[in-house]
Structure 1
Amino acid sequence: MSEQPATGHWQLHSIVSGLRSAREQWRTRNGRSSGEQGGRELPSREAVRQILEQLCGALFPMRLGPVDLREESEDFYVGHTLDAALTSLLAQARLELRYAARQEKIDEAGVDARALRLIQDFAAALPGLRVMLDTDVLAAYHGDPAARSVDEVLLCYPGILAIIHHRLAHHLYKSGLPLLARISAELAHSATGIDIHPGAQIGPSFFIDHGTGVVIGETAVIGERVRIYQAVTLGAKRFPADESGQLQKGHPRHPIVEDDVVIYAGATILGRITIGKGSTIGGNVWLTRSVPPESNLTQANLQLDCGNRGV
């Protein structure tokens, strides 16, 4: 049995000192402090992970809540869990708003009151978000012949986990907490391989089947009853820059997908184009132009169309 090395083997004092020096140099160069009174400056990814787990349990207590929960104690569990989650979320919101105020060099007065209002609004929106999520769960159940029950969908489907995170993150994004929203989205991305920017607008009854490799950009707009499959990209075609060469942010640059559209695996749809209502986009199609309602695009008919136009 090998002996554990003594801590002196690592010259930890020198390494810790060197890392401290690197941190201090970075903070000096970027005009950054180490946070209020030396405390944490930014929201915690781990705290957000715990909050989302609690919120999932509160939204679907008998399926995503604790294993020993009984229906007669459902309301008590939901109330207790929400109180803990929202209190923690409030602390993270204050960190984000204070950080943003320091970055923009504006007065931090009123940050705590604003954070409280935002989280109160978020809490009030939860019943409506639950109703919206029920439409997503039903869309997955009705849209997948392999699904045996809505419970299986909720417990097992990565697309459902991704859309739960997205519905919560999108509300935070709209309310002015984009960093917390992005952390929430990236936690789902890490767990499922589905990358949905929290700014994307997604209507009810949305179903991502299989899901791995799906990318949905910040300014994408998706209508009702849309179904997409794995490795679909709703992305930007180009990234305009300003006079200084910096990328311009916030401009609409991702697709609009109207109601009742199906997009099959591997399709790549780029730019601010519109996929008309009721259309079907076939697998591995590369699309950079709008299509009218009730279109049925495949690689074969796109190649034929390009040939007829002499492309």
Structure 2
Amino acid sequence: MTTATSTFLDHLLAQRTQYRYKLPSRPDAGRFIDHLMRLLFPVTQDCQSSSQHVEETYQKLQEQLICLLRPLEKNLPDSPVSIADRFFERLPPIYDSLLLDAHSIADNDPAAVGIEEVIAVYPGFYAIAVYRIAHELLQLNVPLLPRMLTEYAHGQTGIDIHPGAQIGRSFFIDHGTGVVIGETTIIGENVKIYQGVTLGATHVAKSMAQKKRHPTIENNVVIYANATILGGNTIVGHDSVIGGNVWLTNSVEAHSLVFHQHQTEIRLKSLESGEPINFVI
């Protein structure tokens, strides 16, 4: 071993003592979320044989979660076993909420064949499901793992939902690629958003970490593709429609229609001079 290699390895060993957290593996986190989704929504069947015993699967999932929590044990408010027990006690209302999300997508998307298709293949539903599971772990004061779960879903779907966001019932994300929902976003009930929507912050300074940086979207709002809504003081009033490509940093009243007005310029040549004449419509 060369001196340079030995020095580098010593540096790596020293660096290990500087980390504040030990984390579970990312593949294990992904496996846990996918196994949990199969337990909750067994609408697909693996080609390989799998256990049909719900109780056995449930027990294995509890063991998986405990294993994921072990590396974080020093930073947990309680033992991994206790936190896993509390999480699974909260699973029934999470499940009920996810059913409402799935029905909202199936009922509002003309292309959806049924709830089974939504559950099995719709990226919007998958991202919402992982968010709701991760959000519950965050409510139990579990650090880092919730973000690992939503980032796994981000990689699978292209939809980035921070587990700290507060999202109401019957949430609908259509298509979904490029959607970003920030940590302090508040979303009401029966909200629909489309691909490319950003619910973000106007400033990203570290000093604002504990402040509300992201917008509030009230009930029954529709936000169309590629709209950007920014700022912790920005409120979109209930029953409003935000059109595609809108850039919004100010609040709007309930029942508002906000749209991006484009301008089209037609260039014609003058018959006399041959010079172009511009008409704006």
Q: Same fold (TM over 0.5)?
A: yes
Say whether 1:264 aligns with 2:224: yes
Q: Judging changes above 3 Å, is the alpha-carbon distance between structure 1 residues 69 and 295 closer, same or farther for their aligned structure 2 residues?
A: farther
Distance (Å, rounded) in 2 between the aligned partners of 1:88 and 1:58 = 13
The counterpart of 1:298, out of the listed 259, 262, 268, is: 259
Aligned to 1:57: 38
CA spacing shift, 1:251–1:45, aligned 2, 3 Å: same
Q: Distance in 1 between matches of 2:236 and 2:102?
A: 24
Partner of 1:81: 57
Unaligned runs of 5+ in 1: 1-12, 36-40, 102-110, 241-245, 302-311
User: What does 1:271-282 align with in structure 2 at a 5 Å threshold?
Assistant: 271-272=231-232, 273-282=234-243
Letter in 2 for 1:54: H
SS in 2 for 1:133: helix
SS in 2 for 1:178: coil
Is 1:27 paired with 2:11? Answer: no
Q: Does structure 2 retain, via aligned residues, the 8 Å contact 1:202–1:222? A: yes
1:79 offset after TM fit, Å? 1.7
The code of the aligned residue for 2:69 comes to A
Instruction: Write the distance in 2 (CA, Å) between the matches of 1:59 and 1:68.
Output: 19
Partner of 1:8: none
Q: How many residues align?
A: 260
The residue that corresponds to 2:166 in the other structure is 201
Structure 1 position 218 matched with structure 2 position 199: no
| Corresponding position: 1:286 with 2:267 | no
Q: CA deviation at 1:143?
A: 1.4
CA contact (8 A) 2:124 2:175 kept: yes
- Tell me how far 1:42 sits from its aligned partner: 2.1
Whether the 8 Å CA contact 1:97–1:177 is kept in 2: the answer is no
Equivalent position to 2:209, from 240, 245, 249 = 249
Superposed CA offset, 1:260-283 (max 9, x none): 000000000000211000000000
- Supply the distance in 2 between the matched residues of 1:179 and 1:130 (Cα, whole angstroms): 23
Aligned-residue CA RMSD in angstroms? 2.3
Measured in 2, the distance between the counterparts of 1:219 and 1:54 equals 28
Tell me which residue corresponds to 1:136.
101
Instruction: Tell me the secondary structure at the aligned position of residue 199 of structure 2.
Output: strand
Q: C-alpha separation between the residues in 2 aligned to 1:163 and 1:178?
A: 20
Residue of structure 2 aligned with 1:94, choices 70, 73, 82: 70
In structure 1, distance between residues paired with 2:210 and 2:49: 44
In structure 1, distance between residues paired with 2:137 and 2:242: 31
SS at match of 2:212: coil
2:142 counterpart of 1:177: yes
Structure 2: how far apart are the matches of 1:60 and 1:160? 12
CA contact (8 A) 2:202 2:230 kept: yes
Partners of 1:68 and 1:186 in 2: how far apart?
27
Aligned to 1:7: none
Which 4+ stretches in 1 moved above 6 angstroms?
A: none
Q: Give the % identical residues.
A: 42
Encode CA deviations 1:142-182: one digit per residue, 9 max, x unaligned: 11111111111111110011011001000011111131100
Q: Counterpart of 1:20 in structure 2: which amino acid?
A: L
The amino acid of 1:216's aligned partner reads: I
Aligned-partner Cα distance in 2 for 1:69–1:163: 28
In the alignment, which of 24, 30, 44 is matched to residue 43 of structure 1?
A: 24
Report the Cα offset of residue 68 of structure 1: 7.5
Distance 2:49 2:9 in 1: 47
Partner AA of 1:124 in structure 2: E
Partner residue, 1:165: 130
Higher helix content, 1 or 2: 1
Note closer, same or farther for the CA distance 1:59–1:65 as it changes in structure 2 (3 Å cut). Answer: farther
SS in 2 for 1:234: strand
Q: Secondary structure at the match of 1:83?
A: helix
SS of residue matched to 1:269: strand
- 2:112 and 2:7 map into 1 onto residues whose CA distance is 55
Equivalent in 84, 88, 93 of residue 119 of structure 1: 84
Q: Which is richer in strand?
A: 2
Amino acid at match of 1:248: M
TM-score for the superposition, normalised by structure 2: 0.85
